[in-house]
Amino acid sequence: MTKYSKKSQDKIEKVMHEFKEGTLKSGKEGKGGKVRSRKQAVAIGISEARKAGGKVPRKTAANAGRYNE
């Protein structure tokens, strides 16, 4: 059983391609500037896949507050 649907995989792949080209922007309408972190690029891809209705694993309680210490 796959964790991500084909639609989600395509969306994440597209975002990572933008990141590698240096055209991926963060924030609403790209006003946050260029994305410089690979982790941030993956997070944006997963977020966009969720909004598009793709099958993406839910955020777990263990990971949700991991970096908010």
Q: Is 11 helix (H, G, I), strand (E, B) or coil?
A: helix
Rounded to the nearest 10 degrees, the angle between the axes of helix 6-21 and helix 38-51 is 140
Q: What angle do CA 67, 18, 25 make, to 5 degrees?
A: 55
Q: What pLDDT is attached to residue 15?
A: 92
Q: What pLDDT is attached to residue 14?
A: 93
Q: What pLDDT is attached to residue 54?
A: 78
Q: Distance of CA 52 to CAs 27, 36, 60, Å?
A: 17, 24, 20
66 within domain boundaries: no
Q: What pLDDT is attached to residue 62?
A: 60
62 within domain boundaries: no
63 within domain boundaries: no
Q: What pLDDT is attached to residue 68?
A: 54
Q: Which of the residues in the chain have pLDDT under 70?
A: 1-2, 61-69
12 within domain boundaries: yes
49 within domain boundaries: yes
Which residue range(s) make up the domain with 51? 6-55
Q: How many domains does the chain have?
A: 1
